Structure 1
Amino acid sequence: MKGQSLLIAALAFAFVIALFAVINVDSVQVNFLFTKTNIPLILVILASTLLGGLTVGLFGGIRQFKLQRSVRSLEKRIAELTAGQQPEYSEKAAGANAEPVFEKANEGE
Structure 2
Amino acid sequence: MSRESGKNFQWTVLLSLLFAVIIAVFAVFNVDSVPVNYLFGTEMIPLVLVILGSALLGALFSGFFAIFKSYIGSRRIKELEKKLQAKEEELTRQQRQMQEMEEQIDTLMAEVPVVEAEILPPKQI
- TM-score strictly above 0.5: yes
Does residue 13 in structure 1 map to residue 10 in structure 2? no
User: SS of the counterpart of 1:36?
Assistant: strand
Cα deviation per residue 1:44-87 (whole Å; 9 max; x = unaligned)?
00000000111111111111111111110010011011112223
- Paired residues in the alignment total 92
Residue 34 of structure 1, CA deviation: 1.4
Question: Where do residues 72-83 of structure 1 align in structure 2 (5 Å cutoff)?
Answer: 72-83=78-89
Q: Percent identity?
A: 40
RMSD: 1.8
Structure 2 residue runs without a partner (length 5+): 1-6, 104-125
- Distance (whole Å) between structure 2 residues aligned to residue 37 and residue 79 of structure 1: 60
Of 72, 93, 97, 1:66 maps to 72
TM-score by length of 2: 0.67
Structure 1 residue runs without a partner (length 5+): 94-109
- Distance (whole Å) between structure 1 residues aligned to residue 24 and residue 81 of structure 2: 45
Runs of 4+ in 1 over 6 A off after TM superposition: none
User: SS of the counterpart of 2:52?
Assistant: helix
